[in-house]
Amino acid sequence: MDETAGSAEAVSRFVERFAGQLTDAGMQRMAARVFAALLASDEASMTSAELGEALRISPAAVSGAISYLSQVGMVSREREPGSRRDRYVLHNELWYETFTRRDQVLGMFEKTLREGAAGLGEGTPAGVRLSETAAFFEFLQGEMHSMLERWRVHRAGLGLPSA
């Protein structure tokens, strides 16, 4: 077996394994496969044709997956210079941005839960449950902020290139 074939096989194994884990965690199956393929590509970008060939999926499947990944802010579409073809690109600092967006969602949930608890009556069983859930999201937000800051410091210490 030559080095290229082994490498392609290793990429394929990784893509399917990680995509399976993402699917188990709730991501759409095709979106998970496309995301994993982009993550495993050296350039962190591929065309629709490249994705279709690598994953053995139809252009419609690629389009649907890219639509979902774009909507949740995990990839963007860029035009290849001098071409009519689009490339699908992973965002820089993908995980940091993803968790930052989750932090915003937690804040929205917390506010709605507190309003719900006040409306239902904070002394009622439902109100107590909503208040506890709001407190949990507030706690997660605080932890998320400090964790993301620790990541920035840690990342700088690893000497990784800036995104």
Predicted local distance difference test score (pLDDT) of residue 79: 85
Burial class (CB in 10 A: 0-12, 13-18, 19+), 69: buried
Q: Which residues contact 48 (CB under 8 A, 6 or more apart)?
A: 59, 62, 63, 66, 85, 86, 88
Q: Which CATH architecture has domain 3-90?
A: Orthogonal Bundle (1.10)
Q: What is the mean pLDDT of each run of 10 residues along the chain (163 residues)?
A: 63 96 94 95 93 95 95 86 86 74 83 95 94 94 88 87 63
Q: Which residues contact 94 (CB under 8 A, 6 or more apart)?
A: 74
Predicted local distance difference test score (pLDDT) of residue 159: 86
Instruction: Tell me the two tokens of residue 61.
Output: 């499947």
Domain limits, the chain: 3-90, 94-158
Cα–Cα nearest to 52, from 42, 64, 62: 62
Predicted local distance difference test score (pLDDT) of residue 69: 92
